[in-house]
Amino acid sequence: MLDTILFSVLPYAVIVTTIVAVTFRLRKRRFGVSSLSSQFLESGELFFGSVPWHYGILVVLTGHLIGFLVPRELLLFNSAPVRLYILEVTGLAFGLLSLVGIVSLIWRRASSPRIRAVTSRMDVLLLALLALQVVFGVSTAIFNRWGSSWYASSAVPYLWSVLALRPDPATIAPMPWTIKAHIVGFYLLLAILPFSRLIHALVPPLRYLTRPYELVIWYRRDLRPADRHARSRPAHTPRVRTAPPAPPSMPIVPEPKTPIAHEPTTPNVPEPTTPIAHETAQTAPAEELATLTPHE
């Protein structure tokens, strides 16, 4: 009964939900489709977590996709023991690399206060599911040997039966619980894909492969203007100064000369001096002085 719910009912509920939610988000909120990078808040630990995670998980997913598309050719490739050993060791190595990357990303989210402040509940759920998915995959590669062969012979027929609308969980019923948990974890990740930053996997930046390169110049405040200019310019680029283009030549039209009217000059005649009449001081009578002086 539980296998029927997990492997016959759950896949179609997840597929319908994912298709509807992804279509709505890409059509109505396409500018919100982003990984919401926190590189500006912290970039040191991000490098040691993001790079191993992406390289490891991309190789592992590519191996799963090849086995899903051409299972017979994969079984034929594994018929030689040497090639089987090489494939198993390679898959385990990249699985461990992705495990190191996801653990580093989780530690970065938990230890940095700035990153923890911008971490949502969906981010916590997504990191937990990714970590569990990688742990189940690595444990399957270690404790259940030759996983590439039984994946092509047992798990792939079940996945194709789901796509053909005839789910047949009988092919994976006898498998260990870690493998079943690995399949259910894939369904859960697919279900939360439209609601998390994992949706950026559906819009890879292929445009960046064909666009012209961009030159980014960083300025430092502790450098003088001359040193800053020298640091920002590549060493192999010669410093060439070019004169600005000359403006188009215009015909010079001389201005018309107008005659200057000379005013007649008058001789400087000194002004006549008039004698200054000195007024005689008159004294006021004593009676007038008494009226002018205030007694109060």
Q: What is the average per-residue pLDDT within 159-174? A: 90
What pLDDT does 280 receive?
Answer: 47
Q: What is the average per-residue pLDDT within 19-35? A: 79
Q: Do 137 and 131 form a contact (C-beta atoms < 8 A)?
A: no
Q: Give the model's confidence band at 241: pLDDT under 50 very low, under 70 low, under 90 confident, else very high.
A: low
Q: Do 177 and 140 form a contact (C-beta atoms < 8 A)?
A: no
pLDDT in tens, 3-12: 889 999 999 9
Tell me the fold of 2-205. Fumarate Reductase Cytochrome B subunit (1.20.950)
Q: Do 38 and 118 form a contact (C-beta atoms < 8 A)?
A: yes
User: What is the CA angle 253-255-256, rounded to 5?
Assistant: 125
Give, in order, the Cα–Cα distances in Å from 267 to each of 115, 185, 251, 262, 270: 94, 116, 47, 15, 9
User: Distance between CA atoms of 17 and 130, rounded to whole angstroms?
Assistant: 20
3-state secondary structure of 24: helix
- Residue showing tokens 């198993």: 88
What pLDDT does 117 receive?
Answer: 85
- Map out the domains of the chain as residue ranges: 2-205
293 vs 201, residue with greater confidence: 201
pLDDT in tens, 175-223: 889 999 999 999 999 999 988 888 887 777 777 777 777 777 766 665 5
pTM of structure = 0.67
Q: Above pLDDT 90, what percent of the chain? A: 39
66 vs 295, residue with greater confidence: 66
User: Distance between CA atoms of 189 and 126, rounded to whole angstroms?
Assistant: 8
Q: Give the model's confidence band at 264: pLDDT under 50 very low, under 70 low, under 90 confident, else very high.
A: low
What's the alpha-carbon Rg for the chain, to the nearest Å? 44
User: Distance between CA atoms of 52 and 49, rounded to whole angstroms?
Assistant: 6
Helices (H), the chain: 2-4, 10-28, 44-69, 71-77, 81-111, 113-117, 121-143, 147-150, 156-163, 177-192, 225-232, 286-292
What pLDDT does 83 receive?
Answer: 93
Q: What is the residue-averaged pLDDT of the chain?
A: 79
User: Distance between CA atoms of 109 and 42, rounded to whole angstroms?
Assistant: 10
What pLDDT does 94 receive?
Answer: 96
117 Cα distance to chain centroid: 18
Q: Give the model's confidence band at 281: pLDDT under 50 very low, under 70 low, under 90 confident, else very high.
A: very low
What pLDDT does 68 receive?
Answer: 94
- Residue 92 confidence (pLDDT) above 50: yes
Q: What is the average per-residue pLDDT within 45-49? A: 85
Q: Which two tokens stand for residue 271?
A: 């002004």
- Residue 113 confidence (pLDDT) above 60: yes
244 vs 145, residue with greater confidence: 145
